[in-house]
Amino acid sequence: MNTVVFEDIKHMDEDSNEYWYARELMIVLEYSLWQNFNKVIKSAIQSCINSHNNVNDHFIEVNKMIEIAKGGKRKVIDYILSRYACYLIAQNGDPRKEVIALAQTYFAIQTRKQELLEDKLKNLSEDDKRIKIRKQVRNGNYGLNRTAINSGVKNLAEFHNAGYKGLYNGETANDIAKRKELNYRQDILDFMGSEELADNLFRIIQTDSKLKRDNVDNEYEANLKHFEVAKEVRESIKKIKGTMPEDLPTPKSSIKDIDNKKIE
């Protein structure tokens, strides 16, 4: 076993914040009974309190419906966990398990990395944020392209347009470019502000995870999944009364121009 298992069950919210579900983490940490794992969660919550951290920032109790025998359903308790919450759970887990030691190391390192990243982002200008997120989007698209091809996609342009249509209320990449008044050589992603780039980064990450999680193996389904994930991202923005991506302002300078000025 390696740390990939913790990445495989990771989720992202509409603000690109990472989170995990306790019941999914329970399986990875080799707990078979919720009653036993819930005791570990309670100990982790107490550790959070003792560290003077806000429990509600890291452990959010939610209700879920699960399927039971003969097609029935039952409501169960679950938790939405931050990376720090996962670290505390690992710290309070059964030390005899090899996977617990692995989790302790992984979440400790990643929690520190996240803290450093957040500190860095707070002090960045809008231009620097654009450059940073644009790089993440570029890397994300590179990974998504590989996942899409492995899922049976042959026409990548059509696949990406499915995502844009879901996020931008039916607009394709060309429609977005026309609205932004760009020429055919200009990349629409280079003419997005940090918020619009973050919306697209969330779409990209969630689609990549969805294709892998659902073992998609044909182009039609891959395109449909991309559209559906993107539409869900749009709905999430609407629910929190955020600005729709097509209504966000288009920056005057492209990210390439900003990058070039920094090099000069």
* Per-residue model confidence as pLDDT tens digits over 128-139: 889 988 998 999
Query: Are residues 143 and 234 located together in one domain of the fold?
Result: yes
Q: What is the pLDDT of residue 190?
A: 96
Given 106, 122, 138, the domain boundary residue is: 122
Query: Are residues 73 and 35 located together in one domain of the fold?
Result: yes
Query: Are residues 132 and 256 located together in one domain of the fold?
Result: yes
Query: Are residues 135 and 88 located together in one domain of the fold?
Result: no
Matching residue, tokens 């100990």:
43
* Backbone angles phi and psi of 30, in degrees to 5: 65, 40
Given 122, 149, 170, the domain boundary residue is: 122
Query: What is the layout of strands, in order, in the sheet containing 18-21?
Result: 11-12, 18-21, 73-81, 59-67
Count: domains in the chain: 2
Query: Are residues 226 and 168 located together in one domain of the fold?
Result: yes
- 25 class by beta-carbon count within 10 Å (0-12 exposed, 13-18 middle, 19+ buried): buried
Residue 187, SS3 per DSSP: coil
Query: Are residues 186 and 113 located together in one domain of the fold?
Result: no
**Distance between CA atoms of residues 20 and 208, nearest Å:** 16
Query: Are residues 132 and 87 located together in one domain of the fold?
Result: no
Look up the domain containing 161 and give its range. Answer: 126-263
Q: Does the pTM exceed 0.75?
A: no
Query: Are residues 130 and 117 located together in one domain of the fold?
Result: no
Query: Are residues 141 and 198 located together in one domain of the fold?
Result: yes
Query: Are residues 53 and 174 located together in one domain of the fold?
Result: no
Given 122, 138, 173, the domain boundary residue is: 122
CB burial of 49-87 (b: ≥16 within 10 Å; e: otherwise) equals eeeebeeeebbeeeeeeeeeeeeeeeeeebbbbbbbbbb
Q: What is the pLDDT of residue 194?
A: 92
Tokens of 111: 């929690």
Question: Do residues 92 and 43 make contact, with C-beta atoms less than 8 angstroms apart?
Answer: yes
Low-confidence ranges of the chain (pLDDT < 50): 264
